[in-house]
Amino acid sequence: MGCFTFVKVMMFLFNFLIFVGGAALLAVGIWVSVDGGSFLKVLGPFSSQAMQFVNVGFFCIAVGAVLVLLGFLGCCGAQKESKCLLLMFFAIILIIFIAEVAAGVVALAYSSFAESILKAWATPALQTQYGKDDVVTKIWNSTMTELKCCGFTNYTDFTNSYYYNSHGNSYPPTCCRALNATCTQSDAQQSDVQGCFEQLLSTLKKNANIVGGIAAGICLLEVAAMFVSMYLYCHLDKNIR
């Protein structure tokens, strides 16, 4: 078996696994988005931990769809020896790689800018959707419970919000350290529960080695995928008989 044939077979097998994994993730994402209740019943005792996953069903669908597309392009490109499909595969991987690098640079070098962007998205949701929209409410409840935080910045994100006005001028229970029936402004102020953005940054810093290792591994896989696709692309003409 020549080098070209070996790389072609490995390209096909690797992308077939990506395709299968993406299809499974896509199916689960659709399942939890359409009928999250039955999904939680299947998990049984693990249902509380799964709530985080259920709340990001649409994210799973998006990631699964991208993986299915990449797997399909990679498999067909290698099997059919199609320059067009291999080039499309390379282009998509390159776009994802550039987006990840750009996001990482912005997050590290311009953390205050990233915070302002996230705050511009999060604050209106907390003001108008929390307590009204089930999806937004579940996502924030899960986040605040898991991270032991309150709001994006702090409890003031809920002041005069839909939740605040419809619950007798009170804040979500997670904004108070003592789990009282109602969390008043004085209770929230005395509790001084940290905002979720700062708590998330603190958690990421504590696990910086793990996060960095995962990010580096993903980047290496993407670079390897681009290299292999370009190798096949450049050597196709030499292998045409």
Structure tokens at 232: 């096949």
Give the helix, strand, coil percentages of the chain, each rounded to 5.
80, 0, 20
* pTM value > 0.85: no
Q: Give the start-to-end residue ranges of the domains of the chain.
A: 3-111+207-239, 129-201
pLDDT by residue (tens digit) across 169-215? 899 988 988 766 688 888 888 888 888 888 877 776 676 677 677 77
**Can you say whether the dihedral through the CA atoms of 172, 178, 149, 44 is positive or negative?**
negative
60 and 53 Cβ atoms separated by less than 8 Å:
yes
Give me the pLDDT at residue 187, please. Answer: 87
Q: Which residue has the tokens 């005069």?
A: 160
Model confidence at 238, pLDDT cuts 50, 70, 90, reads low
Q: CA 221 to CA 101: how far, in whole Å?
A: 14
Q: CA 121 to CA 139: how far, in whole Å?
A: 14
CA angle 147, 65, 124 (to 5 degrees): 40
- CATH 1.20.58 is held by the domain 129-201: no
